[in-house]
Amino acid sequence: MRIKTQGRLAQLVERYPYKVDVGGSIPSTPTINKIPTIPQSISMTKKTGPDPLSVFPLEHDKNLVFLKNIITAPNIFIGDYTYFDDRFADPHRFETYNVLYNYSPDKVKLVMGKFCAIAMDTRFIMTGDHKLDALTTYPFPIFGQGWEEAFDVSEFKVKGDIIIGNDVWFGFGSTVRNGVTIGDGAIIAAGAFVVKDVPPYSIVAGNPARVVKMRFDDISIARLQKIAWWNWPLEKINKNLKLLCSLDLDGLEKANSI
């Protein structure tokens, strides 16, 4: 059976309790950014695809990086094969240009699964909300020199971590605010500003981002999430590339059970 795409807003999935597996455990007080890599039980040959530990999987293209291999911040966790592609600038600037206001690594994490694709100018807003429960939002204390008495800067609030599933595609210039969870297989349209959770396999667009389409029907989405191909061993992924890039869900399910 081939699964059908589905576009009805009425079938929007409710807020989705979501757990992301980036290929290892995330320490509750993260100190390092080393997430165990998918076990490579076969040697790297041309048929194994790119090395997940390489910074530049395309040797000729220094604008595209496997993100986990360039991250230094203790509160950013990225899964294997997730890439960032900055057409016009050094993608090493990701942590400063694309992850914004990352001032409180102890308060907020950015966790992203495997096989995500991040287009240029995608941004993650980690903190940065001014004080809302006051008559002014002007951040007096940050200037010191007596103004620190206005209030304790620890009162700046963060809505929560940014948790992103696997196989998520971020279109050009999309933005994700802290406190948001994005489900597996979602597509964030170019220019979207995401302030609410994004259901798995939905397409969200606009500002504020809303679901404009579901990619598949509910039952197919549940089946896809059960298969969770991104957690397969690499050999299995390599063997089933054509299936993964088709709409043959029965075939994928069969491959999963082997």
Ligand X SMILES: CC(C)(COP(=O)(O)OP(=O)(O)OC[C@H]1O[C@@H](n2cnc3c(N)ncnc32)[C@H](O)[C@@H]1OP(=O)(O)O)[C@@H](O)C(=O)NCCC(=O)NCCS
Known catalytic residues are: 130
> CB nearest ligand X: which residue?
171
Sign of CA dihedral 242, 229, 217, 113: negative
Q: How far is the CB of 121 from ligand X (least distance, A)?
A: 9
Question: How far is residue 110's CA from residue 164's CA, in Å, rounded to a whole number?
Answer: 8
Q: How far is the CB of 95 from ligand X (least distance, A)?
A: 20
Q: DSSP secondary structure string, 147-202?
A: GGGS--GGG------EEE-SS-EEPTT-EEETT-EE-TT-EE-TT-EE-S-B-TTE
Question: How far is residue 41's CA from residue 115's CA, in Å, rounded to a whole number?
Answer: 19
Q: How far is the CB of 86 from ligand X (least distance, A)?
A: 11
- Binding footprint of ligand X on the chain (CB under 6 A): 119, 171-172, 187, 189-191, 203, 205-206, 212-213
Instruction: State how far the alpha carbon of 74 is from the alpha carbons of 29, 60, 92, 113, 227, in Å.
Output: 9, 30, 16, 16, 31
Q: How far is the CB of 50 from ligand X (least distance, A)?
A: 17
Structure-token match 């309790």, residue found: 17
Distance, CA of 125 to chain centre:
13
